[in-house]
Amino acid sequence: MKKLCFLNLILLLGLFISCSKKSDTENEPQENPVNKAGNLKGSGESANDILSNANFDKLLIEVAYVENFKPTDDTIDNFVLFLKEHSFKSNIEIIYKELSSPNEENLTLEKINELEQENRTAYNDGKTLAFYIFFTDAPSDEDDKEEDVVTLGAVYRNTSMVIYEKTIKKLSARSFVITDEDIETATLNHEFGHLFGLVNLGFEEEPESPLKTKMVNPHEDTEAPNHCTTNGCLMRAELSFQQANKSAKSTINNHIKAGCRLDGVSVLKMLESGKTNKSRAQNLGAECILDLKANGGR
């Protein structure tokens, strides 16, 4: 009997210790939550961080896409080469994330932002600067079919971009000489040019900002802010639409707005006109390159 009581006492003590440990574990602070502050700034505000290695020496790019709307491998290779050509980042990692369709007829910037908050996993960490690029299965709500105006892409934060892949596929199907890769590459490079801070992006709001990419020589189109006047430059003004109409910019808060919407028809015409040298449509002009060099780029 005494032996039985002794065993019961041991079991009770074991249960008490187990419960205590469980309780202590539940009360312990969880892992530090992800700090997203560095990825919630305005477009162009991280230009120097992208171009130089002063604060970050690695780029981590999360490519999220709806099934069957993934960019081509050649497009991503071209994009990485573009980044290495103009920045000092040699360590660039691409990760992919396939998403289910949001089942939307078209996508507002508000919805795109909501989807990013739900699905994004890559954020700045230590010396790594992270980006999120979403390839959609629906067009932009800003498209105007009657005017044949379609949007290929837009940036809306310092590390956030949307590419309207369904629109790109439809557009490339209209041409015998231009491929998905051609349009994807031109779109990615143009929009990332804005994340580089081109052209004079943000200086109207913050004229003394030291990290943004300021123009060395004047080459901003006055009728289409943040776009270039240099012939042959990927940042040319005719590639965008709605720039002169500020009311057309979708705004959620101080940092989320599509400052540039790349016009698909204009890009297609540009690519077709330069079909003998399609890489020309994927390059920056001399003035934009000069601006990047002045802000820590190559």
Span 236-282, pLDDT tens digits: 877 765 443 333 333 444 456 665 777 787 888 888 776 645 444 56
| Residue 233 pLDDT > 80 | yes
Mean pLDDT score, 165-177: 91
pLDDT digits (tens, 9 = 90+) for 110-138: 999 999 999 999 999 999 999 999 999 99
Q: Where exactly are the structural domains of the chain?
A: 38-294
What pLDDT, on a 0 to 100 scale, did the predictor assign at position 282?
Answer: 63
Range name among 182-186, 195-199, 220-224 with the lowest pLDDT average? 220-224
Q: Provide the sign of the torsion angle of the four alpha carbons 168, 169, 174, 176, taken in this order.
A: positive
Mean pLDDT taken over the chain: 83
Helix or strand or coil: residue 221? coil
What contacts 187, CB < 8 A, 6 or more positions away?
A: 152, 153, 163, 168, 262, 267
Q: Which residues neighbour 169 within 8 Å (Cβ) at sequence distance 6 or greater? A: 69, 180
pLDDT at 262: 78
Residue 62 has pLDDT above 50, yes or no: yes
Q: What percent of the chain has pLDDT over 70?
A: 77
- Name the pTM for this structure: 0.83
Q: Which residue has the higher pLDDT, 70 or 261?
A: 70
The rounded distance, in Å, linking the Cα atoms of 50 and 88 is 8
In whole angstroms, give the CA distance from residue 178 to residue 99: 27
Specify the CATH number for 38-294; select among 3.40.50.2300, 3.30.70.1520, 3.40.50.300, 3.40.390.10: 3.40.390.10
* 124 and 35 Cβ atoms separated by less than 8 Å: yes
pLDDT tops 90 at residue 197: yes
Residue 184 has pLDDT above 50, yes or no: yes
Task: Name the pLDDT band for 139 (thresholds 50, 70, 90).
Answer: very high
pLDDT band, residue 176 (cuts 50/70/90) = confident
Q: CA-to-CA distance for 123 and 120, rounded, in angstroms?
A: 8
What confidence score (pLDDT) does residue 248 get? Answer: 33
Residue 275, both tokens: 């079909």
Between CA 75 and CA 165 the distance in angstroms is 12
pLDDT over 80 (residue 76): yes
Q: Supply the pLDDT for residue 257.
A: 65
More confident: 74 or 262: 74
